[in-house]
Structure 1
Amino acid sequence: MTEFLRRFPLPVIVLAQLFGTSLWFSVNGVWLSFSRELGLGEPELGWMTLAVQAGFISGTLTLAVTGLADRFGASRIFALASVLGAVINAGFVLVAEHLPAALLLRFVTGLCLAGIYPLGMKMVIAWTPSHAGAALAWLVGMLTLGTALPHLMRGATLGMPWQWPLLGASMLAVVGGLLVLRLGDGPHLPKNAGRLGLKQGLAALAVPRFRAVAGGYIGHMWELYAFWMLVPLLVARELERLGRSEQLVPWLSFAIIAVGFVGCVLGGRLSRHLGSDWVARRALATSGLVCLCYPWLSGMPPVVLLVLLFIWGLAVIADSPQFSALAAATAPPQLVGSSLSVMNAVGFGVTLPAILLVSSLWEAQTTWVVLWLLPGPILGLIAFRGLRPQPSP
């Protein structure tokens, strides 16, 4: 079994990543039936989403401070985090009606996810170093599908008891962890037995090229999750203008976010010929341009706005795997895990104020609120100028 898995390391890691990250938005996916049964509203959903984000940030910082990401095998951390996350996610069913306990378990779920997503990136780099940009595109594409899935579930599982999909996500996470454990660590990253910590994790920031990549990634993250949060609101506005049923909101929201999977895969294919830096620059510039134009075109026919949202959804995530590949290539080789953990922690950290800002201003500013996302692409592109273009492979 192990030998068979090692013949196809990338599909195994990508599948395990999809299964493991199904925990991320598991509550969002059952929210309609869940909120009806427990009498909760959208503010509580927002807090639960932010709790997971805060847990993920805390987890990535913990990995960086302790150096666990480079001191122990990535496959073991991934498997342990998947199983623990599955148990915590299943435990949510028992405490869901008690908001403080529910928020705590969502926070701990985010902690566990910090052992899945960054370590999945490290494993991809360890198994497929010659085409990391294309390989990471599949990994981030699966994360994008996991983000979109709750919107699909909102439309498709209204009659299902909300506990079932949650427990299903836990089962998938366990399967993903076991797959990665059997696969094991890749052969292409040096092992480090020394004492590592936050200081070593931050050491990559002394490298100008890594610093430029990290700056571009942080700008991208300011825009990404806030945009994903706004998608249902923007879609609902256009459907109302069309006079169509609001039941179409989750289906269109799923499609607009899920199209980012296509953007990731296409970007990965282009990166093999044109380079990761070429793809990342143009994807970030495209999403920034749509962000700039969108509110000024808000009086156009609704179909035009929906097309723009699809373009935005395609471009907004296509640069993410390329930033990760560039970060791995520019960080000190023995500190890749810690460096990626620090970069992820800071990147996800900026998603919190961005989400809070646009959600609080939506009612007053509607479509114009998207301009608050524009500083992300602009500052990211400015920072990314410090990375000199590399020759195509």
Structure 2
Amino acid sequence: MKPTKSILPVIVFCQFFCTSLWFAGNAVLNDLIESYDLKTSVIGDLTSAVQFGFIIGTLAFAILTISDRFSPSKVFLVCAILGASFNLGITIEHNQLWSILTFRFLTGFCLAGIYPVGMKIAADYYEKGLGKSLGYLVGALVLGTALPHLLKDLSSVYPWKSVIISTSVLASIGGILMFSLVPDGPFRKASHHLNLSAFFSVFKNQSFRSAAFGYFGHMWELYAFWTFVPFILKTYNDIHTHFNTNIPLVSFFIIAAGGLSCILGGYISKKIGSKKVAFLSLLLSCICCLLSPFLFSLNHHLFLLVILFWGMVVVSDSPQFSTLVATNVATEIKGTALTIVNCIGFAITIFSIQLITNLQNEINPKHLYIVLSIGPILGLIALTRNKEK
């Protein structure tokens, strides 16, 4: 059975709709602070709550091998509906910080059944050209992550709750479409029993370890960068007071640009291989981290071009790392392997996000983002230690 041409676009759109839940809270952060009388430092806590929920979710899904034992489309639907419901929770009147963080945690938990499960579904349909297919899929994740910033800009004349409601509606639609239009793939090999050893056994493969550790280095940078894009723009505005950048709109374009680079990287990987694309992307984003202090001395147009380029290379390696992970593990535990790597990768994001948050008041904001180079440097070392293509 050959995969139909219509399957990949459906998976991509469903992933796009559902991952809009991820940064919905960040897009309306200032409104949350004003509405619920929160401290401005809540940005790190708000993002980390989602990441922590995702980590616990992926840990549970991996240990229980959920996406390998049950129909991935059904798992996707249930998590999309529940995630949309928890996302709406932050619109409840008289919320406090603990309740907002709880709802964001639960939303993150449900995303564990959306992002890695979506990749599992794609892997079940596309054994050949998986790098290109995951390029589209991660591109959808990137656009979904950026979408709340665009909705915030477009809905500036409407209550902030419209952003949350919109993302919840989109997520519900995405879950229903996935369940209705995407049956189990032709390359799916179901695991019929609980396999607790899979969580540890996958790391015995050297090629798998290399890909996983490269991904971990990439994740140290990625979500911290996405979280602090609005703050990078604000810092530039504060330094160059004669400019007034539209932060929500520009944040959308910077993050969304990564979606295009994921797709482009997918096509390039067909010619030079996923490992080379991942290595080059990680190297370029590392250079951006190291040169970040000089960003703030550039003129407005050059600053926007450079940070837009950073937004592209910071994530273009992600689908290629996932491809390397998926192709270096047994078929029957492919979904579990992807979930395990996601679990550890997102755990790492909490440390980098909290580190940047804690350093905000300690060092010059122009020098904050050099810290993000630590992950790419270690990731590059991991990739070079494995000589396989």
TM-score tier by shorter-chain length is: over 0.9
Residue type at the aligned position of 1:151: H
Unaligned runs of 5+ in 1: none
Q: Does 1:53 align with 2:39?
A: no
Residue type at the aligned position of 1:171: V
- Structure 2 match to 1:263: 261
Paired residues of 1:209 and 1:386 also in contact (CA < 8 A): no
Secondary structure of 1:59's aligned partner: helix
Tell me the distance in 1 between the aligned counterparts of 2:17 and 2:298.
Answer: 40
Q: Choose from 63, 66, 72 the match for 2:64.
A: 66
- Structure 2 match to 1:119: 117
Moved more, 146-155 or 15-24: 146-155
Secondary structure of 1:130's aligned partner: coil
Residue type at the aligned position of 2:252: F
Relative to structure 1, the CA distance from residue 249 to residue 94 in structure 2 (aligned partners, 3 Å threshold; closer, same or farther) is closer
**Offset at residue 37 of structure 1 (A):** 2.9
- Structure 2 match to 1:128: 126
Secondary structure of 1:42's aligned partner: coil
Tell me the distance in 2 between the aligned counterparts of 1:190 and 1:78.
Answer: 18
Tell me the distance in 2 between the aligned counterparts of 1:139 and 1:12.
Answer: 10
Query: Which structure has more helix as a fraction of its residues?
Result: 1
Paired residues of 1:202 and 1:339 also in contact (CA < 8 A): no
Q: Choose from 322, 341, 344 the match for 2:342.
A: 344
The one-character-per-residue Cα deviations of 1:153-193 (angstroms, maximum 9, x if unpaired) are: 33332221222221222221111111111212111132211
- Structure 1 match to 2:290: 292
Moved more, 144-153 or 185-194: 144-153
Aligned residues: 385
Relative to structure 1, the CA distance from residue 186 to residue 96 in structure 2 (aligned partners, 3 Å threshold; closer, same or farther) is farther
Moved more, 351-360 or 297-306: 297-306
Matches within 5 A, 1:1-393: 7-94=5-92, 97-182=95-180, 183-197=182-196, 199-246=197-244, 248-296=246-294, 298-363=296-361, 364-390=363-389
**Offset at residue 73 of structure 1 (A):** 1.3
The CA RMSD measured in Å over matched residues stands at: 1.9
Moved more, 161-170 or 201-210: 161-170
Relative to structure 1, the CA distance from residue 302 to residue 270 in structure 2 (aligned partners, 3 Å threshold; closer, same or farther) is same
Taking structure 1 as the reference length, the TM-score comes to: 0.93
Relative to structure 1, the CA distance from residue 330 to residue 386 in structure 2 (aligned partners, 3 Å threshold; closer, same or farther) is farther
The one-character-per-residue Cα deviations of 1:284-333 (angstroms, maximum 9, x if unpaired) are: 00111121122256444344333221111110000000000110001122
Secondary structure of 1:330's aligned partner: coil
Unaligned runs of 5+ in 2: none
Tell me the distance in 2 between the aligned counterparts of 1:125 and 1:256.
Answer: 28
Moved more, 135-144 or 225-234: 225-234
Paired residues of 1:218 and 1:347 also in contact (CA < 8 A): yes
Paired residues of 2:88 and 2:165 also in contact (CA < 8 A): yes
**Offset at residue 123 of structure 1 (A):** 0.4
Taking structure 2 as the reference length, the TM-score comes to: 0.93
Paired residues of 2:84 and 2:171 also in contact (CA < 8 A): yes
Secondary structure of 1:385's aligned partner: helix
Residue type at the aligned position of 2:133: A
Secondary structure of 1:388's aligned partner: coil
Moved more, 146-155 or 58-67: 146-155
Relative to structure 1, the CA distance from residue 147 to residue 41 in structure 2 (aligned partners, 3 Å threshold; closer, same or farther) is farther
Moved more, 236-245 or 77-86: 236-245
Paired residues of 2:18 and 2:171 also in contact (CA < 8 A): yes
**Offset at residue 112 of structure 1 (A):** 0.5
Tell me the distance in 1 between the aligned counterparts of 2:296 and 2:27.
Answer: 29
Tell me the distance in 2 between the aligned counterparts of 1:65 and 1:320.
Answer: 23
Paired residues of 2:33 and 2:39 also in contact (CA < 8 A): yes
